[in-house]
């Protein structure tokens, strides 16, 4: 999947005019890419469009219009765009109550290593969480993690052959049994991969 450049972005003025329509398009695109894992974990699979939206919103909020600042934002978010052989996602741990969230983050240390994806009956896909910085400490984990799953040739062939995408969480404090992603989610995630002819 092609990375973003400044030429792919709207100016602040253009974005202010297009934002409502663009945001609706992105929200519709994100819907099948948001995977709920129980009541408190959500995987948001990222791609070029979701990252364009994220950058545009950052530029808007921070009022960034100089080339160097724009390039910094692009450099920060481009690594979350899939490379054709992987999926990339933001894992969010979400509790409305502040105290409940604080307690949960203490219990869920290491959960980023326990979110499992596999294709059909294939072995789990190797996952590489938080490659930029460590987000779990001994006493608590972060509410946000950045994940990369690197699919094998066998995984991609199984997907192309129609096998389902299975998700589970194996953390003892938050076990989620394996379940199959919807057809719409599967189709959206397949677009991130180079599956050949």
- pLDDT level of residue 196 (50, 70, 90 thresholds): low
Handedness of CA 23, 30, 134, 38 (dihedral sign): positive
Residue 183 pLDDT greater than 70, yes or no: yes
The pLDDT of residue 53 is 97
Q: How confident is the model over 22-63, as pLDDT tens digits?
A: 999 999 999 999 999 999 999 999 999 999 999 999 999 999
Total Cβ atoms within 10 A of residue 147: 24
Q: How confident is the model over 126-173, as pLDDT tens digits?
A: 999 987 766 566 789 999 999 999 999 999 999 999 999 999 999 999
pTM of the full structure:
0.91
Q: How far apart are CA 175 and CA 169, in angstroms?
A: 5
The pLDDT of residue 138 is 73
The pLDDT of residue 130 is 85
Q: How far apart are CA 13 and CA 153, in angstroms?
A: 44
The pLDDT of residue 28 is 98
Query: By the 8 A CB rule, do 166 and 118 touch?
Result: yes
Query: By the 8 A CB rule, do 15 and 21 touch?
Result: no
Q: Name residues whose C-beta falls within 8 Å of residue 29's C-beta, 6 or more positions apart in sequence.
A: 49, 50, 188
Q: How confident is the model over 72-116, as pLDDT tens digits?
A: 999 999 999 999 999 999 999 999 999 999 999 999 999 999 999
Comparing 159 with 194, the larger pLDDT belongs to 159
**140: helix, coil or strand?**
coil
Burial group, residue 142, by CB count within 10 angstroms (0-12, 13-18, 19+): buried
- pLDDT level of residue 197 (50, 70, 90 thresholds): low
Q: Please state at what angle helix 48-62 crosses helix 12-30, rounded to 10 degrees.
A: 140
């Amino acid at each position: 999947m092609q990375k973003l450049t400044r030429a792919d972005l709207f100016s602040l003025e253009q974005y202010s005019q297009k934002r409502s329509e663009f945001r609706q398009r992105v929200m519709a695109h994100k819907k099948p890419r948001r995977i709920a894992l129980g009541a408190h974990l959500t995987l948001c699979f990222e791609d070029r469009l979701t990252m364009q939206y994220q950058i545009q919103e950052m530029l808007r909020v921070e009022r960034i219009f100089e080339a160097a600042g724009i390039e910094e934002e692009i450099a920060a978010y481009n690594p979350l765009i899939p490379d054709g052989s992987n999926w990339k996602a933001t894992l969010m741990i979400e509790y409305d109550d502040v105290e409940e969230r604080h307690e949960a983050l203490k219990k869920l240390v290491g959960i980023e290593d326990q979110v499992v994806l596999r294709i059909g009956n294939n072995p789990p896909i190797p996952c590489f969480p938080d490659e930029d910085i460590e987000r779990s400490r001994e006493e608590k984990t972060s509410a946000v993690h950045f994940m990369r799953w690197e699919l094998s040739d066998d995984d991609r062939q199984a997907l192309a052959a129609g096998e389902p995408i299975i998700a589970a969480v194996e953390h003892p404090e938050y076990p989620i049994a394996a379940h199959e992603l919807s057809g719409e989610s599967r189709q959206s995630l397949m677009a991130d991969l180079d599956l050949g002819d």
